[in-house]
Amino acid sequence: MRYISTRGQAPALNFEDVLLAGLATDGGLYVPENLPRFTQEEIASWAGLPYHELAFRVMRPFVSGSIPDADFKKILEETYGVFSHNAVAPLRQLNGNEWVLELFHGPTLAFKDFALQLLGRLLDYVLEKRGERVVIVGATSGDTGSAAIEGCKHCENVDIFILHPHNRVSEVQRRQMTTLFGENIHNIAIEGNFDDCQEMVKASFADQSFLKGTRLVAVNSINWARIMAQIVYYFHAALQLGGPARSVSFSVPTGNFGDIFAGYLARNMGLPINQLIVATNRNDILHRFMSGNQYVKETLHATLSPSMDIMVSSNFERLLFDLHGRNGAAIAGLMDNFKQGGGFSVEQERWTEARKLFDSLAVDDAQTCETIAEVYEQTGELLDPHTAIGVKAARECRRSLDIPMVILGTAHPVKFPDAVEKAGVGKALELPAHLSDLFERDERCTVLPNDLKAVQAFVSQHGNRGKPL
């Protein structure tokens, strides 16, 4: 399988190189040159497979030529073996034909584990084969950091540095990062906000001289391997609900457009999906595009669903590329315009094409709390605020009551106690068994000033399993 850039000017890469690449050299994102397509009979034959075996069948074409089948199978069995629920991604019914796909049974209780548990293992496998080491520098406002550290903690060939804004992530989120020890794990609290952290990561990619030749790898959702891993659970859910003979709809709590883009790919690979709902919080750039064909940056608002607090959705470029007939020059033009502060609309027929599949809704904090309370009252299920936004959007935007509606349950409510408390649900939140002593564990973290040079000096001092690069 070969991968090409959405801006058309970077060299095509194989899977191994795309795994290690991050952004393409032309500023674009990598996508498969040709998407695999499965027949209905083939998909139907996968009904009842354990999650890791389904994962093998769905993802195999993407890694072909880079990872032999037997090795890939073993990696997948290990990856999904760490999830605490036997079904890995169980469905729970909320209402007639309405289901939550629980994606929070991984080590850090959010769906990001599906991709990052795999990414860590794939990196280690590929690096071992090449005899190389890499450094990961990532920024987090919460969920990504802990999932990335959990995914890489056993990697022999990876040193991981995660920057989070000092005193600005929740205690559960902080402890999920800082209580993981290992000579290759480095938590850095920056005396600044999330944007400061992200700027430092970007600057480090732009000028990597401080790494003395060691390669820098991206773990945010621009990494193709993350998208790839997320395609699998769309197939998994549909097969449980009568697919592919029957079509299914999904509502997806959305920030960077990574998770829902995986659903779009599942459909293009042959899975009958009727409707994809983009559910956003008050940071609603995607809703403004889907409802009014305006892609324009606005100020950032802090909400009760912090993992969806974004101004710009990086993976949206991957959808735009398809909407423009895979014309890289057109995308480079749009993005240039956007960068100058212009924002953009797309031609009417392209927008209409997108709207055949996508609907959207923006949900504010008050509605989020109302939905948590309502669902708790109706079913006894406690939703996290991100999932609640998905439920609200599903109920508002649903096209057909005959088609099963699956809401992606992106996080466990225990990660977001503020929202649950504000919703007025009088249920005590309990950490799952593997995290029950989280509040007693020792923490390890280095506080650094909001200064790029200081951070880069720290990385080069500790980037080789705690020793200098």
Ligand X SMILES: *Cc1c(COP(=O)(O)O)cnc(C)c1O
What does the binding site for ligand X look like in residue numbers (CB under 6 A)? 110, 112, 143, 221, 253-259, 307-308, 386, 410-411
Q: DSSP assignment of 249-276, as one string?
A: EEEEE-SSSHHHHHHHHHHHTT--EEEE
In order of 1, 215, 220, 457, the CA distances from 209 in angstroms are 31, 10, 21, 11
Residue 67 or 419 with smaller CB distance to ligand X: 419
| Shortest Cβ 431–ligand X spacing (Å) | 16
| Shortest Cβ 59–ligand X spacing (Å) | 18
State the residue for tokens 């924002």: 343
On the 0-12 / 13-18 / 19+ scale of CB atoms within 10 A, 296 is middle
| Shortest Cβ 305–ligand X spacing (Å) | 7
Sign, Cα dihedral of 129, 134, 139, 143:
positive
HSE-CB at 51 with a 13 A cutoff on CA atoms is: 26
> Any catalytic annotation for residue 74?
no
| Shortest Cβ 254–ligand X spacing (Å) | 4
On whether the CB atoms of residues 64 and 1 are closer than 8 A, the answer is yes
Residue 67 or 197 with smaller CB distance to ligand X: 197
Residue 157 or 360 with smaller CB distance to ligand X: 360
| Shortest Cβ 258–ligand X spacing (Å) | 3
Residue 244 or 390 with smaller CB distance to ligand X: 390
Residue 202 or 212 with smaller CB distance to ligand X: 202
On the 0-12 / 13-18 / 19+ scale of CB atoms within 10 A, 174 is buried
β-bridge pairing 91-95 and 358-362: unpaired
Residue 112 or 392 with smaller CB distance to ligand X: 112
Annotated active-site residue in 112, 356, 392, 422: 112
| Shortest Cβ 410–ligand X spacing (Å) | 3
Structure tokens at 39: 């027949």
Planar angle of CA 142, 144, 214, nearest 5 degrees: 125
Sign, Cα dihedral of 394, 399, 405, 406:
negative
| Shortest Cβ 420–ligand X spacing (Å) | 14
Residue 136 or 308 with smaller CB distance to ligand X: 308
Structure tokens at 123: 């990196």
How far does the chain reach from its first CA to its final CA, in angstroms?
A: 33
On whether the CB atoms of residues 155 and 226 are closer than 8 A, the answer is no
The phi-psi region of residue 224 (left if phi > 0; otherwise alpha if psi is between -120 and 50; otherwise beta) is alpha
On the 0-12 / 13-18 / 19+ scale of CB atoms within 10 A, 410 is buried
Structure tokens at 370: 């109302």
Q: 420 Cβ partners below 8 Å, 6+ apart?
A: 372, 382, 384, 385, 413, 427, 429
Cis-peptide, bond into residue 107, ω within 30° of zero: no
Residue 251 or 456 with smaller CB distance to ligand X: 251
In order of 165, 241, 394, the CA distances from 94 in angstroms are 36, 14, 12
The catalytic residue positions are 112
